[in-house]
């Protein structure tokens, strides 16, 4: 099951760390509607993780930190 999450600009910069090289979340992608989190898409997550482990991605972040939209799914405010 595909679960892509459209991200807000502030999240992309502050949480996903776009532009921060290896600190940037490896699951951050730009889709047709803007930046999206792919961590919830199992097939994409497997492929991205394999590429990170093979050293073919600059971004090495694994998401799940404070403010990560993927880790916030299902939580109540």
Whole-model pTM: value is 0.84
Residue 75 confidence class, pLDDT cut points 50, 70, 90: low
Alpha helices in 24-68 (DSSP H): 42-53
Residue 2 confidence class, pLDDT cut points 50, 70, 90: low
Q: Where are the domains of the chain?
A: 5-61
Q: How far apart are CA 60 and CA 77, in angstroms?
A: 29
Q: How far apart are CA 51 and CA 14, in angstroms?
A: 24
Look at residue 73 and tell me whether its pLDDT is greater than 80: no
Q: How far apart are CA 63 and CA 45, in angstroms?
A: 11
Look at residue 58 and tell me whether its pLDDT is greater than 50: yes
In the chain, what percentage of residues exceed pLDDT 90?
66
């Amino acid at each position: 099951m595909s679960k892509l999450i459209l991200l807000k600009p502030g999240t992309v910069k502050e949480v996903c760390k776009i532009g921060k090289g290896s600190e940037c979340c490896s699951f951050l992608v730009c889709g047709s509607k803007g930046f999206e989190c792919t961590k919830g898409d199992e097939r994409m997550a497997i492929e991205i993780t394999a590429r990170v482990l093979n050293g073919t991605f600059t971004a090495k972040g694994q998401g799940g930190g404070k403010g990560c939209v993927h880790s916030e799914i299902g939580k109540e405010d």
